[in-house]
Chain A
Amino acid sequence: MSPPLLGVEEEVQSSVSSPSVECISENGMGLKERNYLGLSDCSSVDSSGVSSNLNLATELRLGLPGSQSPERETEFCLLNLGKLDEKPLFPLLPSKDGICSSSQKNVVTGNKRGFSDTMDGFSEVKGYVYTEKSWMFHEAGSDSESPQSVGHGKYPGNSGVNVILSTRSPGVQASVKQDEPANVLQEQPRATNGTSLKQTVISNNTTGAPAAKAQVVGWPPIRPFRTKTLAASSKNNDEVDGKPGPGAVFVKVSMDGAPYLRKVDLRTYSTYQELSSALEKMFSCFTLGQCGSHGTAGKEILSESRLKDLLHGSEYVVTYKDKDGDWMLVGDVPWEMFIETCKRLKIMKSSDAIGLGNYLVSRTLPKNLLEQWRNPRPTTKKNLDMGANFLMPNPNQTDNSEVKSVGCVVESERSYHVSSHL
C-alpha cells in the first residue's frame, strides 16, 4: 500500500502534506517541513524534547467563531507525537476510513458540515481541499500577488489543510456528546506526563484563505463581533479595491460556436483567474459537448485522451480587443490596466489563436492549469474540467518544461485515483 501512496505524496506535495507524514518519511520524500501548530520541529520522528511532552489535542468544539462560510470543509488532523511510534500516522488514506470514522464520531459538534459527511465522502473532503487551493481565487485581500498557481505562500494552509488521520488517543476530551454523553466527561484525559494537550485539528475556511492551523473553540481570543465585522469588511473592500473609481465596466463576450453573446462587468473581478472561472461558468454549456470525457463523474478528469486534447490545442483561449482595436491575448498586462483597456472579450479556439502568443505554439501549459491537474477535484460536477477549457496565460508563467512534468503528473494522478478507490 505504501509505495503508490507515498508516490502520490510526492507529486501532490504542495497539497497533501502533513507534518506527521513528514515525520515518518522525511528522507525520501523531499517534503517540506512545516512548523505545524507551533511545535518546534516535527521534522523527525523523535521530535524535539520540547514537543515530546506535548500531546497536542485541543478538542474542537465548534468551528471558527463567527465564520460565515456556508460550505465548510472539515478535515481532521490529530497530532499525537508521543504516540508516533506506536501508531503510524498516515496521511489521508481510504483504508483508514473505518478507524477514522469511528473515532471521529466523538469529535465534532457544531461543525456545520456534519462530520460523517466528510468521512463518507473521503475524496469529497479532498476534493474540497483541492477546490480551494488550486482552483478558485481567494479574496485573501492580496489579489495583486500572482494568481494562484502553485501553492506557495498564498495558501498557507497547505500543511495543515490536508487531512491526516490517525487513531485518536482515547479519552480525548469530549465535546461531542452525541454518542457517549455521560461517559465522555469521565474519559477526560490529561495524561499525567507534563503538559498534555491534545489537539484535534480541523481546518476551516474563513473569509478566503484556507485555514491552516488548529481551530479550537474560543481561540484565538477574539470577539466574534470583530471577526464577523472584519469578514464583512474584507468582502466589501475587495469590491472596492482596485477600482480607480465607481462604475461598472461591461464588455461583450463572444465565444466561437456559441449562438449568443454575454456581457460581463469586469469590475466585479479582481484577478484573471476570477474572470476565467466566471467565463467558464458562463460558457460551460457550450463546451461540454466538446470534451468527451467529462459528463462522467469527476474521477476521469484526466484521462489520457483528455490530456492529449488539451495538449494539442483543442482548447479555447480568451482574447480581448483593446482601445486601439487590436486583438490581444488576455493575461499579459496587470489586471488594472486590462480593465481600463479592454473593450470586448472573445473566446476562441486555440487553434485559431495561433500567432497571438508564443505559449500556444510551444504547447506549454500555464501554471494554474498545471496546478489544477496536480490537484484534481474528483467530485463536484461543477468542476468538470471547466478550467481546462480556458487557457489564460499566467503573466508570471515561464517555461516549456511544464510539458514533461505534466505527463508525470498524470501518471501519478491516475494511481492516486486508483488508490482512492481502495
Chain B
Amino acid sequence: MNMNYFPDEVVEHVFDFITSHKDRNSVSLVCKSWYKIERYSRQRVFIGNCYSITPQRLIARFPGLKSLTLKGKPHFADFNLVPHDWGGFVYPWIKALAKSRIGLEELRLKRMVVSDDSLELLSKSFPNFKSLVLVSCEGFTTDGVAAIAANCRFLRELDLQENEVEDHRGHWLSCFPESCTSLVSLNFACLKGEINLASLERLVARSPNLKSLRLNRVVPLDTLQKLLMRAPQLVDLGIGSYVDDPSSEVFSKLKAVIQLCNSIRSLSGFLEVAPCCMSAIYPICENLTFLNLSYAPGLQGNDLTKLVQHCRKLQRLWILDCIGDKGLGVVASTCKELQELRVFPSDPFDAENAAVTEEGLVLISAGCPKLNSLLYFCHQMTNAALITVAKNCTNFIRFRLCILDPVKADPVTNQPLDEGFGAIVRSNKSLKRLSLSGLLTDQVFLYIGMYAKKLEMLSIAFAGDSNKGMLYVLNGCKKLRKLEIRDCPFGDVALLQDMGKYETMRSLWMSSCEVTLGACKTLAKKMPSLNVEIINESEKLESEQLELSFDDRLLVDKMYLYRTLVGDRKDAPEYVWLL
C-alpha cells in the first residue's frame, strides 16, 4: 500500500512524528506532494548559516514557521579570529518575519549580532512569542532585554548564554508586567550589572511554572534563599553569589530550603563562592545530572573533589582544571553515568602548575564507560594515553582535545600525536566532531580520512606538513560539514583539488594557511553556489596599496567559504572581499 493513497492530512500526521531537521529535510525530497505537505506542516527550522538563505525565501517556503534557529559567525569567531562587524545581523530576519504573517514563537540565535532595535521589534511583532535564546551573541544592551520583558506577554523562556551585553543597569527585570506569570526559564547569568532584587523575588513568586533559573553574580545568598523558598520546584539552578558566613542565620535557612529542592537536576554558576558554604549543596548533589562549575574559580581542587563525590548520578560535568588529575580520578570512580566531560583551564598561560595531564583523562576513560563527549584542555598529552583512552572508550561522538601549547609533542617519546589521535578515530566509529592539537603531521590526517567516516566537524590548528594532509581529510571524510583550519601549511593544491566537495559542506574556514588570492578567485569563479570571502581586517589598507594587494600570488590571511542559495551577501564590511 502506497502512502500516496492516504489523504494529505494523514501523511501530515505521520510527519508530525518526524522531528529531526535532517529527517524532515529528507522527507521533503521524496516527491512533490511530500515536499508540499512537509513544508506546510513544518514548524521548526534550523539554519546553520544565516547567509545560506534569505528570510524571504524562508518565509515563502514555510508559512507555518513557529520556531527559528539561526547561526551567524563562523565558529572561529569565538576565538577573536573574526572581526566583530563581520556580519551575522539578525535585524533583517526579524524585520522580514515581522512584515510577514508568520506567527513566530521561538527564536534561537548563536553568534549573531543582535541590536536593541531588533529585540524591540521582535517583542512587538509577534503576540504569541514565547521563547528567546541567545548564545554568544552581542550588540545589545539590557534595554533590549527590557523590551522583551515588557512586551512579550506570554514569554516562557528568556535564556541568555554567554552573551556580551552592555549593562545599563536599567530595571529590565522590573519590566516584566505583574500579569506575566508564564515564565518557565530565566537565565541572566551573563549580565554583569545590578538588578532589583525585590523585583526578582516577586517575579519568581508569580511564576509557578518556573523550572530553570540562572542568576548573575550580583544576586547574593540571602536572595537565593528567598527565591528557593518560592520556587522549590526548580529543575535547573544557576547560583550567582554564594558567599556567606556558615554560622549565619541566613545560611541555616538556605540549608533548610535546599533540602526541599529535590527536583534540581542541573546546577551551575557559583560565580562568587566561599568554599566553606559548599556543604549545603551536598543534599542536592545526589540527584544532579548536570553540574557546571566552570565559572567558579573560587573552588579549589579539594572543594571540587568533595563535591563531586556526592554526585553519583552525574551525566554531564563541566569543570575547571584545578580539580587536578586526582580529582578526575575521584570523578571516574564516582560518576559512572558520566557521558559528557568538559575540563576548562583556570589559567591557560600557566604551564608550570599544570593541573590536568593525560593521566586524568586516562582515569576518566577507564572509569566512565558511557563517556561520549569530551572537551579537555591540558598541558600535555601522550600517544600512550590516547591509545588507552581509545581502548576504553569507543562511544565518542565529540572528542575535542586542546593541548595548551600549540605544537607540543608527546613529552615522553617526543613523537607527534598522530598515533594517539589515529587510535581515537579508529575505535570511535560514531565520531562526529573532532578537534586536534599538539604536534601533528600529515599522518594523522591520513588516519582521519581512513577511519572517521561519520565525522561532521573537524578543527585543526598548527598541524600537518603539506597539502596531502588536507586532501586526506577532504577525500576520506564523506560526511564532513564543517572544516576549520588555522595556521597549517595547506595551500592551493589542496583547496582546489575537489571543488565540488564544498557544496556538500556547510563551510570551510582557512586562516594563516598557504592559500593564495588567485586560488580563491578561481574557486569562486568555478563554484557559483559558494560564497568565498576573504577577510583582511588586519590590513587597514590605503587605496593605492589595495591595488597592489590584488596580486593573485598574495597569500590570503583569512578565507571563509560557504555554500549558499542566494549569492553574495549585501552587508559585508569593507575589509571583507566577496570574490
Contacts and interface: CB of A to CB of B under 8 A. Distances in A.
Contacts of A241: 274-275, 298
A116 B514 CA distance: 30
B352 A156 contact: yes
A87 B405 CA distance: 25
Interface stretch (A175-183, A254-262, A273-281, A369-377): A175-183
Interface residues of B, number: 83
Given A58-B462, A186-B555, A197-B407, A222 B487 contact: no
A190 B162 CA distance: 36
A221 B487 CA distance: 13
Given A221-B402, A234-B297, A240 B243 contact: yes
Contacts of B345: 220, 222
A181 B294 CA distance: 41
Contacts of A207: 347
A61 B536 CA distance: 13
Nearest to B247: A245
B60 interface: no
Interface string B234-278: 000000000111011000000000000000000000011111100
Contact of B136 (A41, A190, A225): A225
A185 B554 contact: yes
A194 to B, nearest CB: 5
Nearest to A62: B80
B551 interface: yes
Contacts of B327: none
A206 B555 contact: no
Given A156-B352, A207-B347, A236 B272 contact: yes
Contact of A109 (B377, B538, B541): B538
Contacts of B244: 246
Contact of A219 (B163, B275, B414, B461): B461
B408 interface: yes
Contacts of B407: 37-39, 54, 56, 195, 197
Interface in A54-71: 54, 56, 58-59, 61-62, 64-65
A214 B406 contact: yes
Interface string B446-478: 000000000000010111110000000000000
Which of B79, B244, B345 has the most chain A CB within a 10 Å cutoff?
Answer: B79
Contact of B296 (A35, A37, A233): A233
Nearest to B298: A237
Interface in B331-365: 344-353
Which of A153, A236, A237 has the most chain B CB within a 10 Å cutoff?
Answer: A237
Nearest to A205: B349
Given A175-B538, A233-B271, A58 B78 contact: no
Interface string B109-129: 000000000000000000000
Contact of A185 (B349, B465, B555): B555
Given A35-B411, A218-B80, A230 B406 contact: no
Given A64-B349, A197-B462, A233-B295, A213 B273 contact: no
Range for the number of chain A residues in contact with chain B = 35 or more
Interface in B483-507: 486-487, 489
Contacts of B406: 37-38, 58, 197, 199, 214, 216, 219
B344 A173 contact: no
Given A237-B298, A240-B273, A140 B80 contact: no
Given A58-B487, A233-B295, A213 B351 contact: yes
A214 B152 CA distance: 48
B512 A173 contact: yes
B542 interface: yes
Contacts of A48: 414
Contacts of A233: 217, 271-272, 295-298
B557 interface: yes
A7 interface: no
A185 B549 contact: yes
Given A156-B352, A175-B538, A237-B298, A223 B162 contact: yes
Interface of A is mostly: loop
A407 interface: no
Contacts of B538: 61, 109, 174-175, 177
A112 to B, nearest CB: 14
Interface string B401-442: 011111111010011100000000000000000010001010
Interface in B193-251: 217, 243-245, 247-248
A33 to B, nearest CB: 13
B482 to A, nearest CB: 14
B230 to A, nearest CB: 25
B81 interface: yes
Given A213-B404, A233-B271, A218 B352 contact: no
A215 interface: yes
B405 to A, nearest CB: 3
Contacts of B297: 141, 230, 233-234, 237
A237 B277 CA distance: 13
B272 A220 contact: no
B555 A222 contact: no
Contacts of B545: 181-182
Contacts of B540: 177, 181
Contacts of A177: 538-541
Given A61-B538, A190-B514, A241-B298, A223 B136 contact: yes
A140 B353 CA distance: 11
Contacts of A65: 79-80
Interface string B314-326: 0000001000000
Interface string A189-220: 01000111101000010110101111111111
B164 interface: yes
7 contacts: A41-B414, A182-B541, A211-B349, A223-B78, A230-B297, A232-B192, A241-B275
Task: State the 7 A-B residue pairs at the shortest beta-carbon distance, nearest first.
Answer: A38-B408, A156-B352, A237-B298, A38-B405, A218-B79, A245-B245, A211-B349
Given A221-B79, A223-B162, 20 more contacts: A48-B414, A109-B538, A156-B351, A156-B353, A157-B349, A182-B549, A186-B551, A190-B489, A195-B462, A212-B349, A217-B81, A219-B406, A221-B435, A222-B348, A227-B348, A230-B320, A236-B298, A240-B243, A246-B243, A246-B244
Interface of B: 76, 78-81, 136, 162-164, 190, 192, 217, 243-245, 247-248, 271-276, 294-298, 300, 320, 344-353, 377, 380, 402-409, 411, 414-416, 435, 439, 441, 459, 461-465, 486-487, 489, 512, 514, 538-542, 545-546, 548-549, 551, 553-557
